[in-house]
Chain A
């Protein structure tokens, strides 16, 4: 890549906006998933009995099952949120940046 192209893109406010928005979204969602998963693992590691709590008092099913289900569903929803924004807003920004520098590529 040409030196002046690097400088030109870095100076483009849209590029800075893209980095800021995308990194912030990825960071938020990433931390959310990590915290969710490691809370789950940490409870398994240190307090298994907590997951042995019954969902209904007279039944046998433990809360470990609905929690597992919730993690599966939430994981999927986070990917959906990210891709909606990336394939819309972030891609539009990227295309504008490409248009701005197309003479230099």
Chain B
């Protein structure tokens, strides 16, 4: 079955590729090598994936170092590599604000959550909130939160992947997106978390090496002088020296603070990232993985600054203009493609093939992780626990999971098609805002606040989620750019400041006014929960025996 799917995928890709003119043969070959390699991993992982624990958490057998790389891999996604370099190309320093916000979430996760997540959970972060609260209600709430976040994140990744293939193979965007969807479904349904993690690890190594090479070449061009690079970039960019300071993305104080809040707290509410704390054997490895992840991500963002400045220099040079810009001066394939163009400018066709293939593998691995998190929510939280009340076998649950993956894959393709022209890093910013509003408050309060009750969490969680989505829809991004209304109802582009506050206030209010018997039970469970969170005593662990 797997082999047939692989063959079908490859041959259709080859057929489509031949249609276009000016196809980059090296890139095509690199693509095939990568797809074949990752399929090999999937096949191996499929043979090892037997239980639901294997499927969701790779059996807990990943080491801290490996997991750190895999987390970095989830992070160095299309949004970071393609999106942030595109942002720096367009707006200069503003792209760097995103990079810093994404990174700073990590220490906070480590200090406040990593350990307790690990000690309290089994498959996903919902386990933590469900520990002492009414499980049914919390699972319903968390599933809504997770699915919304995953949807926004998926859109960003699908758009990135679609554009990449469109530019490289000259095949229509719609086909490109469909191809990504098909491959993703194969990875996840057959290989589960183990395949997803290994694809992520390998690709993290390759992309770190690739970005290092680009940065070195850019620096060599400037004689290894950062000043020379910066000077040349400002002389070529239409905004001149303004690219060296914070600019239009953070036009007003409210938006700036709101964005900062979303980037930082959102990290701590991303279901596919939090899931990674359950793929390691114990709390020690969980902590180590955060250090490695922070190191790799920090190193990557350091280089992406150079890549962004380099793209300004190389794409706006006389040769660059001819090759990569249209007559009106816009980037061919959209601004998300600047890093890919730059890789050809510094490393020729073979390196372009390498970077394109790695970016593509990146997107595939990230969408696979996202899809797994979503299917975890639907199959585990909603179906197994809420509908079947836990009376379900592993085999049955996995079957539902895999079917869910199919549906999500299909929806992802449709959404990727609908949101073709979004900046992918910006879209991820919105996913972060929703994660910060819907998932983070519940998670942090269930860990730390004794007086949290089911009613407070349930109502407050939905308040956060609904406020975030409503404000996003009413903001310029959707209301004006997608629906084409004249003026946005919500004046700021980043909703987090308002929606996070709304969530916390609602959770607090509906918890302290809760006088039900369930509320007493919720509060009474805190001591035992805290002991397990602090020491791990009573945790069964995700390790398969």
Q: Contacts A30-B112, A68-B100; is A62 near B245 (CB within 8 Å)?
A: yes
Q: List 15 A-B contacts (CB under 8 A).
A: A33-B104, A37-B264, A41-B259, A45-B257, A52-B245, A61-B227, A61-B244, A71-B103, A72-B302, A75-B104, A79-B107, A86-B115, A91-B284, A94-B534, A97-B535
Contact A34 B244 (CB under 8 A): no
Q: Contacts A60-B244, A101-B537; is A37 near B287 (CB within 8 Å)?
A: no
Residues of A within 8 A of B97 (CB): 41, 44
Query: Is B334's beta carbon under 8 Å from chain A?
Result: no
Contact A87 B246 (CB under 8 A): no
Q: Report the separation of the CA atoms of residues A26 and B444 in the bound assembly, to the nearest whole angstrom.
A: 14
Contact A82 B111 (CB under 8 A): yes
Residue of B with least CB distance to A18:
B534
Query: Is B277's beta carbon under 8 Å from chain A?
Result: no
Interface residues on A, range: 35 or more
Q: How far is the CB of A46 from chain B (nearest CB, A)?
A: 6
Going nearest first, the 5 A-B pairs with the smallest beta carbon separation are A45-B256, A41-B260, A45-B253, A52-B245, A26-B111
Q: Report the separation of the CA atoms of residues A64 and B357 in the bound assembly, to the nearest whole angstrom.
A: 33
Query: Is B82's beta carbon under 8 Å from chain A?
Result: no
Residues of A within 8 A of B521 (CB): none
Residues of A within 8 A of B534 (CB): 15, 18-19, 22, 94
Q: Report the separation of the CA atoms of residues A17 and B101 in the bound assembly, to the nearest whole angstrom.
A: 33
Query: Which of A46, A64, A94 is the one whose CB lies under 8 Å from B93?
Result: A64
Query: Which of A5, A38, A79 is the one whose CB lies under 8 Å from B110?
Result: A79
Residues of A within 8 A of B107 (CB): 29-30, 33, 75, 78-79, 82
Name A residues whose Cβ lies closer than 8 Å to a Cβ of B.
1, 5-6, 9-10, 15, 18-19, 22, 25-27, 29-30, 33-34, 36-38, 40-42, 44-46, 48-49, 51-52, 56, 59-62, 64-65, 68-69, 71-73, 75-76, 78-80, 82-83, 86-87, 91, 94, 97-98, 101, 105
Q: How far is the CB of B93 from chain A (nearest CB, A)?
A: 6
Contact A83 B100 (CB under 8 A): no
Residue of A with least CB distance to B94:
A44
Residue of B with least CB distance to A3:
B528
Residue of B with least CB distance to A31:
B111
Query: Is B226's beta carbon under 8 Å from chain A?
Result: yes
Q: Report the separation of the CA atoms of residues A97 and B247 in the bound assembly, to the nearest whole angstrom.
A: 53
Looking at B244, B259, B305, which has the most chain A CB atoms within 10 Å of its CB? B244
Contact A82 B110 (CB under 8 A): yes
Residues of A within 8 A of B264 (CB): 37
Residues of A within 8 A of B185 (CB): none
Q: Which residues of B223-273 have CB atoms within 8 Å of chain A's CB atoms? A: 226-227, 230-231, 234, 241, 244-247, 250, 252-254, 256-257, 259-260, 264
Q: Report the separation of the CA atoms of residues A70 and B171 in the bound assembly, to the nearest whole angstrom.
A: 43
